[in-house]
Amino acid sequence: MLQVDNLRVSYGPIQAIKGLSLSVNRGEIVALIGANGAGKSTVLRTISGLVRPVSGKIIFLGEDITSLPANKIVQRGIVHVPEGRRIFANLSVMENLELAAFLRMRRDRKGVVADFERVFALFPRLKERSKQRAGTLSGGEQQMLAIGRALVTRGQMMLLDEPSMGLAPILVQEIFRVIMEIKKQGMTILLVEQNAFAALKIADRAYVLQTGEAVLQGEARELLQKEEVRKAYLGG
């Protein structure tokens, strides 16, 4: 579904991604794991058109999207949930969802309403708080809203950047449970996580990034067993 070929990305003199290739098949959860600064967020930002690569190709559903602007890439069906839960703090929960559905509202009101119900079924807490100002939600609830917004945008592929960041263990479990559920409903997911253990548990395949390069890749289940992965990312 997605193919990244020999991608190079620089921020001025800093080479953040140094010739990375990866692929994501339809229906998979693929995890990108690696230390702080390894380049994980940069990969997602480049796929979604927020950062331009120096070289390399990004192919989505057989078409080259490397030089498309970000809004066109969303229209093709790639929805990015960035690090740090970008939501509209001054709008209510419901208004945040409505805004995410804005483009679809006119031609597919029924579908949008069904999607709101779907989001509220996945995250009952959001339903209880639909009128609450999003900025006053807890961190975990804001993360749920960010994922809810992505669902309502109706992509075919979701790029999730650190969905568990800063959450209490119980909420981390909750978020990962929902990611599994979203996969079951047919979504393809590229997941960036510091929480390598949790990510590998739910992923089909994974890539381990080190200073802009993939140093390991394979079935998530196999990577979980690997000595070097356990030592470096799973705390032994």
Ligand X SMILES: Nc1ncnc2c1ncn2[C@@H]1O[C@H](COP(=O)(O)OP(=O)(O)OP(=O)(O)O)[C@@H](O)[C@H]1O
The first and second tokens of residue 8, run together, are: 């190079």
Exposed (0-12), middle (13-18) or buried (19+): which is 236, by Cβ within 10 Å? exposed
Tell me which stretch binds ligand X (CB under 6 A): 37-45, 57-65, 144-152, 216-224: 37-45
CB of 161 to Mg ion, least distance (A): 6
CB of 70 to Mg ion, least distance (A): 18
Sketch the per residue contact string, 128 through 167, with Mg ion: x for CB under 5 A, - otherwise. Answer: ----------------------------------------
Residue 110 · residue 117 · CB < 8 Å: no
Applying CB under 6 A, among 2, 30, 31, 41 the residue interacting with ligand X is 41
Sketch the per residue contact string, 21 through 50, with Mg ion: x for CB under 5 A, - otherwise. Answer: --------------------x---------
Applying CB under 6 A, among 2, 20, 33, 39 the residue interacting with ligand X is 39
> Rule CB under 6 A: is residue 13 a binding residue for ligand X?
no
> Rule CB under 6 A: is residue 166 a binding residue for ligand X?
no
Alpha carbon distances (Å) from 11 to 56, 125, 169: 15, 39, 34
Please name the helix (run of DSSP H) or strand (run of DSSP E) that holds residue 146, with its range, or none: helix 139-153
> Rule CB under 6 A: is residue 37 a binding residue for ligand X?
yes
Give the β-pairing of 29-34 and 205-210.
Answer: parallel
CB of 164 to ligand X, least distance (A): 12
Rounded-to-integer distance, Cα 156 and Cα 42, Å: 21
E-strand stretches of the chain: 2-11, 14-24, 29-34, 55-60, 63-64, 78-81, 157-161, 188-193, 205-210, 213-219
φ/ψ of 160, rounded to 5, equals -105, 120
Rounded-to-integer distance, Cα 35 and Cα 29, Å: 20
Applying CB under 6 A, among 20, 31, 38, 87 the residue interacting with ligand X is 38
> Rule CB under 6 A: is residue 71 a binding residue for ligand X?
no
> Rule CB under 6 A: is residue 40 a binding residue for ligand X?
yes
Applying CB under 6 A, among 130, 194, 201, 215 the residue interacting with ligand X is 194
User: From the list ligand X, Mg ion, none, which binds 102 (C-beta under 5 to 8 Å, kind-based)?
Assistant: none
The site for ligand X (CB under 6 A) is made up of 11, 14, 16, 34, 36-42, 194
